[in-house]
Amino acid sequence: MDPRADIPVELPPGRPALSESGEAVMWISDGTAPPGLWQRLRAAHATSGWWPLLLTSMSDEGGDRPWETGELVPSQEGAIADHDAETVLAEAWRGSTEIEEEYDDLVPAARLAVTAPHDIAWPGLAPETPLAGDPDEIADRNAEWLVERPNPRLGLVRAASGAEALSVIGWDGAVNHGIDVKAISAVLADWERRFGARLIMAGFDTLVLSTAAVVTDRERALRVAAEHFALCPDNVWQGAGSLEAYAESLLGDETWSFWWD
């Protein structure tokens, strides 16, 4: 797997990254990604077919996880199109609001406070938000500062988009929540369409996207926050503490970050 024949951009030294079964699923740089390279590769994607990712790692004695440790698990079953984004989010919302042993110390009133003002019923998809600019230009701008912290490597995936790239490589960062990567890809693809989202960075159990649909009012932020909570409840349970607090953090922000414990 060598993208050099398809990409009219000079690449740093690198090599294929292997899946759990030993299949080459992506190309990764040996060292950190040079500034400005993600943007040039993103611009070339329409003709090259290689989607760029900035890659962070969970360091271990065995190498950088999951890129060098065989923890990428592409599935040969089903397709992204088999998953409807709203159905995925509605089911995940129900799973995220169920009383589990881990959170059984939350009495009903406290649990309702976490998801307020939506109660525990799935509120539905957020309304479309007008785009604040060109999604690709906004992604380029945010990749400029993301490449500086924490010095990520570069990944290249032969995929139609960042959403599809996750499934191609078999990213398994949400495995503890039982969410299939193709279901996640379906949601990200929907966000690409509705919010001008672009996947820029991936880690062992983290993702960072840019968005051109920057929310500036509280009501809209609460609806977007509900979608984020459904897909990645740890952003709230182990982060902001409540949907309302998390929604506040989305106001005016061009990047969406996710972490699955």
Bridge partners of 256?
Answer: 209
What gap in Å lies between CA 49 and CA 59, rounded to an integer?
Answer: 29
The full length of the chain comes to: 261
Q: What's the pLDDT score for residue 151?
A: 80
Q: Among 257, 195, 250, 255, which Cα is nearest to 217's?
A: 250
Q: What's the pLDDT score for residue 110?
A: 54
Which two tokens mark 140? 């380029």
Which two tokens mark 245? 């607090």
Q: What's the pLDDT score for residue 40?
A: 97
- The enclosing H or E element of 17 equals strand 14-18
The DSSP output letter for 68 is T
Q: What's the pLDDT score for residue 163?
A: 97
In the chain, alpha helices (H) = 37-48, 85-97, 108-115, 135-146, 162-169, 181-195, 218-231, 234-235, 243-250
CB 251 within 8 A of CB 218: yes
Here the contacts of 14-17 (C-beta below 8 Å, separation 24 or greater) are 14/154, 17/67, 17/68, 17/72, 17/155, 17/169
Helices 162-169 and 181-195, axial angle in degrees (round to 10) = 170
Mean pLDDT in consecutive groups of 10 residues from the start of the chain, 261 residues? 89 95 95 96 97 88 81 86 94 77 52 64 89 97 91 95 96 85 96 97 96 94 94 87 91 96 81
If 0-12 CB within 10 Å is exposed, 13-18 middle and 19+ buried, where does residue 247 land?
Answer: buried
258: which residues sit within 8 A by CB, 6+ positions away? 206, 207, 208, 209, 228, 231, 232, 235
Q: What's the pLDDT score for residue 239?
A: 79
Q: What's the pLDDT score for residue 129?
A: 84
The DSSP output letter for 139 is H
